[in-house]
Each structure stands twice: as structure tokens, then as C-alpha cells.
Amino acid sequence: MSLLLTMTGISKRFGATQALANVSLSVPAGRVLALIGENGAGKSTLMKVLSGAHGPDSGSMLLAGKPYAPTGPHDARLAGVSMIYQELNLAPDLSVEDNIMLGQECRWRGPRGGLALLDRKTQRNKVRKALDTLGHPDLRPETPVGQLSIAQQQLVEIARALAADSKVIVFDEPTSSLTRQDVERLFAVIRKLRDAGLGIVYISHFLEEIRQVCDCYSVLRDGRSVGQGELDGSTDSEIVSLMVGRGVSELFPTVPHSPGEVLLSLKGLSGERSPQGVTFELRRGEILGLAGLIGAGRTETLRCLFGLDSVSRGEVKVAQLTLPHSTRGCIRAGLGLVSEDRKTEGLAQTRAIADNMTYSRLTPYSRWGWLNLSRRREEVVRWMERLRVKAISPEQTIGELSGGNQQKVAIARVLHQQAEVLLLDEPTRGIDVGTKAEIYRLMGELAAEGKAVIFVSSYLTELLAVCDRVGVMARGRLKEIRPATDWTEEAVMSVAVSV
């Protein structure tokens, strides 16, 4: 088996933080390698070294048997290494063709040199060949990328890699914004690239997903290589144990709790587009899951509940009191929302952990318009310890934290504001299995304390394992609620796709 890429003894330090320590990685030709690890394990740093965004402090790389030391991302792409990021890197106002050929345009010069003109014919043929290879000749090169769906935009990114004659393509959490149907199409494309002899690095926190598309794996923990092997010969428990550094008896820990009196009730809640006539009751000490396809109305229901989206009709009560339709009123009534979009909506990325954790409840630290920062810091440290937030200090900027630790801060914010009803929208998206287990356990602890949780997730396995009841939404309507033990994944999907 020939190796397309070899990374040997890669180390990288940022100040006092050792991000990578003697990491080695091999990517065979015609294989899909799963790069696995918790948030903060070093996966992103390693891939930034590979893509030329960071230079290693020590170590070496070989690409197709030749020394490889890119001076930057453009140099790496020209050498044959392409990155497909979770957050797509496209120019929405440019056409499909211009995005694919950006930085690698085909030029034509006259016999005497002089001004180089864009060779549209050669460029268009190259673009069509890349799209044909992906099985999507239907994508028109002249279409502005901003008019395409997320799945189609992702294809444009992949086509860009093919047009650059890439030898190695890295997919970083590529399915986080895709529908199930689009995920299957993406997997088909990755298999086609693998069969064409390319080397694929696939980063994901979903072991089920990894098993569908990957052949082998490599695990990082705390910036070090801790294991690798063939997926066919490894169990999920073995891989998870390598990731977290300890035995994992169960991926979905539970804390005993029992529902009490009704805390939140919705009656005919409707928005301008979605939800439509949603009615249910939520009890203290209960975890209610909301399942459904993307666009089913789950997120919109939470946003209407929290006063972020307008309500056209319906009634919401908290502890028998009618809920005011404003975000400030909802917070005062005991509701707390953790948004599905933590980067642009859920957290202020340029502000400190302490700011993000306390913005929604500053009263305990304010007097005569001044903040008692030392007292606030003590409280923030307490919450960081409870939720096991890995950070240098409460003053560290949110954007410097891993995705899992950012999510813990977002949850700590609603706990700090003393929310009795927690609205959690995709709280485990994009985080590792170890952090997921901590969030599942925390949800159980909150329910045991008498709080109520609404848990929106596209991952059916966790909904059925963690929730007391699960409701399924479709086209803005809540179709059915049953005890979680009465559902199967097949039954949930059957209701979710019903008319």
C-alpha cells in the first residue's frame, strides 16, 4: 500500500501550550483515514500544519514521496493538498467557475508575451471535468455560488480541489450543516475520490458516520498520537477509550430523575411561518426531545418561545403565568436558550469567558453602575470547574477555546442566569464524544434538581438515549409525542417525513 502523505514527529507550541507533541500520521492512496480526537486534542493544529497555515516547530512531511514544507495555504494547494472546512470558504458573489479556479486561473499570452488574458475556454473545460468527476454536470459554471444550497456549495469546494489536481483532500466536519440525503450524496462523492486513488482525511465526532465512509483511523489526545488501526477490527468502546484516556462503560450516562408538576405549557403556538399550532406540556425534572428534519420547525419553536421570533397566535405559560413575548421577559421568567449557532449568535467570540457567562445576569455583581469584577470572577471560576471548562483563565477570549469548551460556556451562561427551563438547540453538534457524555450527564443532573429541559437534536440515537419523552416535528407541526422507550429511529423518521 503506497503512502501519499507522511507526517513524522510533528510538534507545535503556542507560548506555554504544547499543541502537538511528536505526532505522526500516514495517509495511504485510495483510502479514507478518520482523524479522531476530542476538542482540543490537536486535530485542527495538525491540519493547519498540513495546509501550511502553521509551520511546525519540528518534524517532517513527505507528499507523494517527496519532501513537503508548504510556506502557506496557497503553496499547499499548488502542491496537491486541499482542505474542505466545516465553514465553507467561498465568494458568494462569484460564479461557480470563478470560485473553482480562484488562485489557479488559466491564462493566455500572445506570442510576444505582454498582458496575460483569462483563458475562459480552457478554464471552463477544466471546471466541467471536475464537476463531471463528482457526478454533478448539472451545476452550471456561470451560476453565482450564493444561489446554491449548502450541499451544492460544498461540491464547489470539492471541485476546486479536483481542479487543482489534489493528491490529498481533508474534510473537516463536512456534514454538520447537511440534510441526511445530502450526507449520503457526500459519502458517495468521497468514495468516488477514494476509488480514484486520492488520499482522504476525514474529521468527525460521529463514530457511526466514520464507520460508513472511512477505512482506517488515527486518534489524537492532548496533542499526541495515541492509536491507529483498521476500523473493521476495532470497537467503538476501544476508540472512545483512546480518545478520552479512560474506559467508557457507556456513551450515554444517565442520572436518575422523575417528572414533577407542569412547569411550561404551550397551547397553539404559531409563528409567521413556523411553528404551526404547537401544543405540549413540560414538567419539572423532565427532558423532552424534539426530533425532525432540517426545516421541520424545531429551532423556530424554541426561538418563538424565547421571544426571538414573532408569535402570530397561541399561549405560553411558565408556572401558570403567561409568558411575556420578549427575550428579557423570558429570561426573567426563567427561560434560557443555548443557540444552535454558537459562533455568530450564541457567544460573543471576541469577548472573555467571564463576559459571555454573565452578560444575561449581571445584577449580583453590580452596584451604582459599577461591576465587582473580583466577585464575578470567583463565580465564573466556580461554574468553569463544575462544567470542566478547559481554559487559561476567565479572562481568556471565547474564540480561543475549542468548540466543546465554547459549548460548555454557553450552557454555563443559562445556568448562571438561574434558568428553570433550558432550551438546548443542537448542544452537542461539532463536539467530541467525551464532551457529549459530560453534557448528557449535566442534563440529567439538572433534571434531578427539578429543572426542565427541551433538547433539540438531529442525532436520533442521543435523543432516544437521553430524553424522557420525544416529540417529532414535520412542516412546522408537532406530529406526535411518546415516551422515548416507545420510539425507534425508524419510527421517528417515518413520522418526520410524513405529510
pLDDT at 74 over 80: yes
Q: What percent of the chain has pLDDT over 70?
A: 95
Map grid coordinates 427541551 to a residue: 454
CB within 8 A of 123, min separation 6: which ones? 97, 101, 105, 106
Question: What is the C-alpha to C-alpha distance for residues 166 and 391, in angstroms, rounded to an integer?
Answer: 37
pLDDT for the residue numbered 69: 94
Q: What is the pLDDT of residue 247?
A: 54
Q: What is the pLDDT of residues 461-488, one digit of tens each?
A: 889 999 999 999 988 999 999 999 999 9
CB 220 within 8 A of CB 42: yes
463 φ, ψ (degrees, to nearest 5):
-60, -50
pLDDT class for 246, splitting at 50, 70, 90?
A: low
Residue with cell 471548562: 389
| pLDDT, tens digit (0-9, with 9 covering 90-100), for 116-146 | 677 788 888 888 888 887 777 788 888 898 8
**What does each C-alpha distance from 392 to 107, 267, 346, 405 come to in angstroms?**
50, 46, 21, 12
The rounded distance, in Å, linking the Cα atoms of 266 and 268 is 7
Strands 58-63 and 3-14: antiparallel
- Asked if residue 150 has pLDDT above 80, the reply is no
Of 87-96, 249-258, 331-340, which one has max mean pLDDT? 331-340
Distances (CA, A) of 130 to 92, 141, 160, 165, 400: 19, 11, 8, 10, 36
- Would you place residue 354 in the very low, low, confident or very high pLDDT band (cuts 50, 70, 90)? very high
- At residue 387, the pLDDT reads 85
pTM: 0.65
pLDDT (mean) for 255-261: 94
**Residue at grid coordinates 482522504:** 200
Q: Rounded to 5 degrees, what angle do the CA atoms 163, 164, 165 make? A: 90
Percent of the chain with pLDDT over 90: 43
Q: Is the backbone peptide bond immediately before 67 cis, with ω within 30 degrees of 0?
A: no
What's residue 112's pLDDT?
Answer: 59
More confidently predicted of 409 and 181: 409
pLDDT surpasses 80 at 249: no
Q: Which of 137-146, 259-268, 441-450 has the lowest mean pLDDT?
A: 137-146
**Confidence tier at 37 by pLDDT (50, 70, 90):** confident
How far apart CA 443 and CA 422 sit, in angstroms, is 9
Which pLDDT score, from 0 to 100, does residue 483 have? 96
Residues with Cβ within 8 Å of residue 384, at least 6 apart in sequence = 353, 391, 394, 412
